[in-house]
Amino acid sequence: MAYFLDLFTPETWDAFRKQGATVSGFRERQFATARDRIKTGDILLCYLVRLSRWCGALEVKSSAFTDSTPIFSDPDPFIVRFKVNPLVLLNLDRSPPMLDGAVWDNLEETKGITMGSRGWGINFRGSLRSISPADGAFLLRLLRKHHDAQTAYPLTERDQRLLAVKRKVQTLAGPVEVEVPEKGDDQDELGENSADSLEPVVATDFTGKDEAGARVAAKHANPTAYRRS
């Protein structure tokens, strides 16, 4: 059993759970990694970008497969997919923050590094990145513990601010919300779309991890919103 990183935004995490949490999707460029490295029984550890919280664990139940059937956008970029069994699914305010001593000080990736130091999130920017056996086992135990205890981690003012500013665009599934994060927020830990940080961040009703699918639809709905400054 191996462990891999699985990125979500708060909005896609909510949509993934509403959809049933049984299919996880990734972009086409990740097919080789998905096919060659991810095996049945491996664990995808779910991480909330922007909020920097661990929110769930998924057991892989199939080999990677491709399916271009649109789910919530057309075209749908998340055509590399796995069937998954949800082991742990946590609400945002029950998800342990990365910047909590009980997490930070026990991960090989971060212990010994000053908490929150600039650039710390570089290793949490891409889905399907391998997580060490020690860190993976620790995180799975932690998530199961918090699932049982339902420990509260209230959203901070900053968390609330990052979730607050939204406007709607039309997609295949109907209106979805487009979130525009404040400039300067979460610059060290942006997630897979860090190269697109000048663009609005799109919250899409999809089972996948990032906002590319809704961004495609949103460009057609409001192209001026996607011009770089």
- Looking at the structure of the chain, the number of domains it has is 1
Please report which confidence band the pLDDT of residue 121 belongs to, taking 50, 70 and 90 as the band edges: confident
SS3 113: coil
Residue 98 tokens read as 């990365």
Q: Specify the pLDDT at position 166.
A: 55
Tell if the pTM clears 0.75, that is, is over it.
Answer: no
Q: Specify the pLDDT at position 191.
A: 37
Please report which confidence band the pLDDT of residue 222 belongs to, taking 50, 70 and 90 as the band edges: very low
Q: Specify the pLDDT at position 179.
A: 44
Q: Which domain range does residue 16 map to?
A: 1-229
Intra-chain end-to-end CA distance of the chain, in Å: 45
Dihedral sign from CA coordinates of 100, 44, 204, 226: positive
224 CB neighbour count, 10 Å cutoff: 6
What integer is the mean pLDDT of 30-41? 95
Instruction: Say yes or no to pLDDT of 18 above 90.
Output: no
Residue 67: closest CA among 85, 82, 47: 82
102 or 171, greater pLDDT: 102
Instruction: Say yes or no to pLDDT of 184 above 70.
Output: no
CATH of residue 156: 3.10.590.10
SS3 14: helix
Report in angstroms the alpha-carbon separations of 22 from 6, 64, 113.
14, 13, 36
227 or 56, greater pLDDT: 56
Q: Specify the pLDDT at position 211.
A: 41
209 CB neighbour count, 10 Å cutoff: 29
d(CA 103, CA 109): 10
Q: What is the pairing mode between strands 3-8 and 43-48?
A: parallel
87 CB neighbour count, 10 Å cutoff: 17
